[in-house]
Amino acid sequence: MKLSLFLSIFLLIFSNCSSKNEKAIQPQIIPLPHSQNIIEGNFILSKETAIIGGYELKDVTNYLNNFITNDLNIKSTSKEAKNGIHLLIDTTIKNDEEYHLLIDKKKILLKSKTAKGAFYGVQTLLQLLPIANTSKSISIQCLEIKDKPQFSYRGMHLDVGRHFFPVNFIKKYIDILSRLKINTFHWHLTEDQGWRIEIKKYPKLQEIAAYRNETLIGHYNDQPHKFDGKKYGGYYSQKEIKEIVKYASDRFIDIIPEIEMPGHSQAAIAAYPELGCTGDSVKVATKWGGFKEIYCPKETTFAFLEDVIDEVVELFPSKYIHIGGDEAPKTNWKNSKYCQELIKSKNLKDEHGLQSYFISRMAKYINSKGKQIIGWDEILEGGLAPNATVMSWRGTKGAIEAVKQKHHVILTPMSHCYFDYYQSENEKEPLAIGGYLPLEKVYSFNPIPKELNEEEAKYVLGAQGNIWTEYIKTSDKLEYMAFPRVIALAEATWTKSSLKNYTDFKHRLIHFQNRLDALNINYANHLYEINGKILTVKDSIKYQLSANTSGKQIHYTTDNSEPTSTSSIYSLPIPVNKSSTIKAASFDNSKKISTIHSVSIYKHKALGKKITLNNSPHKSYNAGGKEALINGISGSNERYGDKEWLGFWGKDLIITIDLGSSLEVNSISTRFYNANGQWIYAPKKIEITFDENFSSKETINAFNNNLLVEFKKQFKNKKVRFITLKIPNYGYIPEGKQGAGNKVWTFIDEIVID
């Protein structure tokens, strides 16, 4: 009887331990595989599991073995193996990045055409394993996956010209990109504010161009500009670059270096003034934006750049070299006798033709080195160099134009791929350049413009996320701005559009964040953040709340107090009977798990009425739609990219508000953003028309240093129904200003009718 009791207790303990060890992680894979089929049962990984791969896959096999040994504390052996993980080359698989993963109770088979495909299969397998392990064995869900990428180019960019990041961080950045099956790292190495790559033939690039005397404090829009007075800079030695290239190569990531030309070259010209058109001595730039300094297309300049390329191609085995080509101001070329004579002698149309000549000449030299060029979409101006790939950032127009000329393109539009933009409308978000790009919008991105047919779409290589670092000076902040938006882009470029589902992605992301925690990545977490919008229901106005991710309670207040777990529980839209401030947050029981959403609603006479516009806002700045202009909610004082500001590029505006019936109007007010450094200008005048029989033309001063230009016109008891505002666009950016010659933006906020 005692023996029977002992055996029962032993079996119970053994059963509990076994079930604990054999509880498999349910698949939450990012990016979502092409096809995935769950099979009943588990594979048990233990020290008796053999990890076996042929010579072609030895590096990937070692990578997997090191992870299991070091991170999960299971030392696999091929001796007396009970089961095995087998990495195999399968030449019947067509895509180099494709893999087939089969997990059954006895074995794991990972098949691929290349080591690269095997590496991606391993990344999927690792997401089926725990983050940490204290058991002697690990249970893995049996399943079958057949997976391949939607696009061949899946890239992430990093600007180290504005702010410099150490080697260890660059490696960390590359490592997490590789885990997401991103295959390209675009390394922006030269800028007006700093030259970051060692060129041995030109030591002044390291001594002078790599360092600036001081750095702008705060935002470029803050007036007057202030500086910290501290010398700043650094560069990567060729030894360090080789080390980083090797590290990336081991993770199947190509590094594409960017050497800017002909613009964004002030740092280089500061070191070697003869490279410019004036020969004047200049300093490395200390604030952000574009500058008039530009390489002069002289033989000495081409000799310099060819020498630079000679050293660059020895460091980077990638097929491509990025030559920039963006935001190249033509002022110094226009004023240069040499440039004007060159335009005539080469039979070029104008300075844009001269840029095309410049780019084409450098492209030809780079091609002679066995490389191809990539340039921002400005390289289309004046004619596209043969074999050039276009990186379209100012929307999709550049990509479409390049494809029509049968050139390959990479999509990286500001609207979906600029991760230096704000990702939340919360006022406590860290300082950013502007704009608004939430996670869902990144995830929704389809790199193939709808204007392209099936044959033309083949020229689209893929997409890339960009991180410009004017306002990102620490690695912690860079991680915050990059993640989880990089993760959303990884799935947008790997997974078939038909399989994408944002709600499902968010649930998988919740699990993936635990892996980010283990990697000590300072990601932004807005998954339970609150959003709100005004609803017009018949004649009543209500405010609707929703969370980015459902499943948790929303508590709110309407008296400007902070919400707690005892505040009102949100269930239905909140009536807006008077001007008020609503605050809300998501709660998990008594714990607040989101930032506080706060909105002040001003109940004026146009709230919820009908509004029409002659031109639609630009798609990048139309988050709130035309109704945002009369929804009672003002935009941010610091940002133009939230959903309350509407942006129009180079278009005149005619706005008509229908009050529904004749109402007494005593004042009309609005405001405009005036961030000239970002090509945003307040208009010079506004014309107001009432009911087509009363006109008041008002001029406002756009030539001031105020970030916000207020407009208010008062009237005496005007009875009106229709109010029309005619707002001409400012025009073109004046000479000498940043972005000179380009069309300007108009950004308008709430139109208040009292």
Q: Which residues pair with 591 in a beta bridge?
A: 588
297 and 436 housed in the same domain:
yes
Residues 6 or more apart whose Cβ sits within 8 Å of residue 221: 675, 677, 678, 707
Residue type, 709: V
Return the HEC string of 573-590: CEECCCCEEEEEEEEECC
The pLDDT-based confidence of 639 (bands split at 50, 70, 90) is: confident
Which of 77-86, 158-167, 318-327, 728-737 is predicted least confidently? 77-86
Residue 1 lies in a domain: no
CA torsion sign for 195, 196, 200, 206 is positive
Q: Is 592 helix (H, G, I), strand (E, B) or coil?
A: strand
Per-residue pLDDT, 78: 55
Phi, psi of 286 (to 5 degrees): -110, -5
Per-residue pLDDT, 538: 78
597 and 614 housed in the same domain:
no
Q: What's the whole-number mean pLDDT along residues 436-442?
A: 95
Please list the helix, strand and coil fractions of the chain in percent, rounded to the nearest 5, in that order.
30, 30, 45
* Res. 10: pLDDT tops 50: no
Pairing of strands 372-376, 389-392: parallel
* Rounded CA separation 649/679 (Å): 9
* Res. 683: pLDDT tops 60: yes
Q: What's the whole-number mean pLDDT along residues 436-451?
A: 96
CB atoms within 10 A of CB 264: 27
Per-residue pLDDT, 75: 81
564 and 676 housed in the same domain:
no
Per-residue pLDDT, 22: 55
Q: What's the whole-number mean pLDDT along residues 680-695?
A: 82
Per-residue pLDDT, 703: 52
260 and 158 housed in the same domain:
yes
Pairing of strands 580-588, 553-557: antiparallel
Report how far Cα 313 is from the mean position of its chain's Cα atoms. 28
Residue 143 lies in a domain: yes
- State the CATH number of the domain containing residue 416: 3.20.20.80
* Res. 19: pLDDT tops 60: no
The pLDDT-based confidence of 18 (bands split at 50, 70, 90) is: very low
What are the pLDDT digits (tens) for 567-583?
Answer: 999 999 999 999 999 99
Q: What percent of the chain has pLDDT above 90?
A: 80
641 and 702 housed in the same domain:
yes
Residues 6 or more apart whose Cβ sits within 8 Å of residue 74: 45, 46, 47, 49, 68, 133, 136, 137, 138
575 and 654 housed in the same domain:
no
Q: Is 122 left (phi over 0), alpha (psi -120 to 50) or beta?
A: alpha
Residue 523 lies in a domain: no
* Rounded CA separation 378/398 (Å): 8
* Res. 51: pLDDT tops 80: yes
Q: What percent of the chain has pLDDT above 70?
A: 95
**Of 490, 410, 708, which is closest to residue 482 (Cα–Cα)?**
490
Residue 2 lies in a domain: no
Per-residue pLDDT, 391: 97
345 and 426 housed in the same domain:
yes
The residue ranking higher by pLDDT, 491 or 436, is 491
Q: What is the CA radius of gyration of the chain?
A: 29
Q: Which residues pair with 587 in a beta bridge?
A: 553, 592
Positions of E strands within 11-136 = 35-46, 49-53, 83-89, 99-103, 107-112
Residue 6 lies in a domain: no
Residue 596 lies in a domain: yes
* Rounded CA separation 512/718 (Å): 59
Q: Which of 558, 578, 601 is the last residue of a domain?
A: 601
What are the pLDDT digits (tens) for 310-340?
Answer: 999 999 999 999 999 998 889 999 999 999 9
* Rounded CA separation 136/114 (Å): 32
- To the nearest whole number, what is the mean pLDDT of the chain? 92
Is residue 732 a contact partner of residue 742, using CB atoms and an 8 Å limit? yes
Per-residue pLDDT, 13: 41
- State the CATH number of the domain containing residue 84: 3.30.379.10
Is residue 544 a contact partner of residue 599, using CB atoms and an 8 Å limit? no
* Rounded CA separation 99/93 (Å): 8
Per-residue pLDDT, 77: 62
Is residue 84 a contact partner of residue 52, using CB atoms and an 8 Å limit? yes
Is residue 713 a contact partner of residue 669, using CB atoms and an 8 Å limit? yes
* Res. 405: pLDDT tops 50: yes
The residue ranking higher by pLDDT, 697 or 104, is 104
Per-residue pLDDT, 735: 82
Residue 679 lies in a domain: yes
Per-residue pLDDT, 221: 86
Residue type, 429: E
569 and 639 housed in the same domain:
no
Is residue 216 a contact partner of residue 287, using CB atoms and an 8 Å limit? yes
Pairing of strands 99-103, 137-147: antiparallel
For 200, 234, 235, 447, 580, the CA distances from 214, given in Å and listed in that order, are 25, 13, 16, 39, 45
Per-residue pLDDT, 40: 94
342 and 441 housed in the same domain:
yes
Residue 524 lies in a domain: no
- State the CATH number of the domain containing residue 731: 2.60.120.1190
- State the CATH number of the domain containing residue 549: 2.60.40
Q: Cis before residue 484, ω within 30 degrees of 0?
A: yes
* Res. 212: pLDDT tops 50: yes
Number of domain units in the chain: 4
Q: Which of 486, 518, 550 is the last residue of a domain?
A: 518
**pTM of the predicted model, to two decimals?**
0.89
**Tokens 């993963």 appear where?**
101
223 and 370 housed in the same domain:
yes
Per-residue pLDDT, 453: 96
For 426, counting Cβ atoms within 10 Å of its Cβ (0-12 exposed, 13-18 middle, 19+ buried), the class is: middle
Phi, psi of 140 (to 5 degrees): -120, 130
Q: Which of 464, 486, 518 is the last residue of a domain?
A: 518
489 and 544 housed in the same domain:
no
Q: Is 460 helix (H, G, I), strand (E, B) or coil?
A: strand
* Res. 80: pLDDT tops 70: no
* Res. 704: pLDDT tops 80: no
- Please report how the helices 167-179 and 115-126 are oriented relative to each other, as an axis angle in degrees rounded to 10: 90
258 and 316 housed in the same domain:
yes
Residue range of the domain that includes 552 = 530-601
Q: What's the whole-number mean pLDDT along residues 543-561?
A: 93
